[in-house]
Amino acid sequence: MSALKTHIAKVATGTALSFEEAREAFDIIMSGDATPGQIGGFL
């Protein structure tokens, strides 16, 4: 499972991301490596 999918799954359960996890997720999104569906799921 990709790192972003792992973070999306964690957020979906209501669990807060750590600072490093949030940074990694936004790095993936801002680099253009995330699909529109992944971005929507994360937000």
Q: What is the mean pLDDT of each run of 10 residues along the chain (43 residues)?
A: 91 96 96 95 92
pLDDT of residue 1: 65
pLDDT of residue 36: 96
pLDDT of residue 4: 94
Mark residue 34 as left, alpha or beta (left: phi above 0; alpha: psi -120 to 50; beta: remaining): beta
Q: Can you give the residue ranges of every domain in the chain?
A: 3-42
Residues in the chain, overall count: 43
The rounded Cα 2 to chain-centroid distance in angstroms is: 9
